[in-house]
Amino acid sequence: MSEFYSVFLSFISEPGTTHVRCCDRPEAVEMAERAVCVRRDSRDDWHVSVAQWGGTETAIAAVCDGTEPTALLDCSWRSRPAVSDFRAAITHLDYLGTAALYRIDPQASEQAATVFLPLWFGLPLAEVTASPCLGGLVAVDSLAEVRTLRRRFRTLKSRLADGIVAGLVSLPAAGATLYEAITGLHGRERYVTPLPGTTIGFSQGTGPDSP
């Protein structure tokens, strides 16, 4: 585990930097309202599209209540190249800039879409940056769950940042804590991308690529 996180943290920290708590970092406030929609067709190809305003709370609540993502009002979806499976569709996901991910899989579910909350691994520390592709996805059933998980994850990251500044928490320990905060959410479908450009390092649940 420690060796893995020494590599993991090479993507989020420059050696020799001084860690300063910075509450004005972008990750400390909700900025992104973009959504990604991944749809499976009859040939098992996965089509990816993006909408700038598809991740608002109103949109997320509507999809959780059964509205098809492509039927959301005031949302214009832009298509991206199709991929071979769901994991490939989320391997390069921008967790920082994406507020919601919707998966439409007629072969696996009768519901309009499965809603996932992206959680970014970046910490609110000056002089420390994280790739936007470091993070995890957690399946949610309601807007209330989205709000609760966001609040708890941000609180966790804030406390870890304070611990790093105080010298009580190491960067490897912080990375391990964020990773385990998602993998430990038992009873939910969830995915984690541990390093930028890699395939999904952890998956659990009843997703379309499950063994």
How does pLDDT run across 49-77, given as a tens digit for each residue? 999 999 999 999 999 999 999 899 888 99
Say how far apart CA 106 and CA 81 lie, in whole Å: 20
Rounded to two decimals, the pTM is 0.82
- Predicted local confidence at residue 118, as pLDDT: 96
Model confidence band, residue 32 (pLDDT cutoffs 50, 70, 90): low
pLDDT in tens, 108-131: 766 679 999 999 998 888 666 778
Token match 């991929």: residue?
Answer: 83
| Mean pLDDT score of the chain | 80
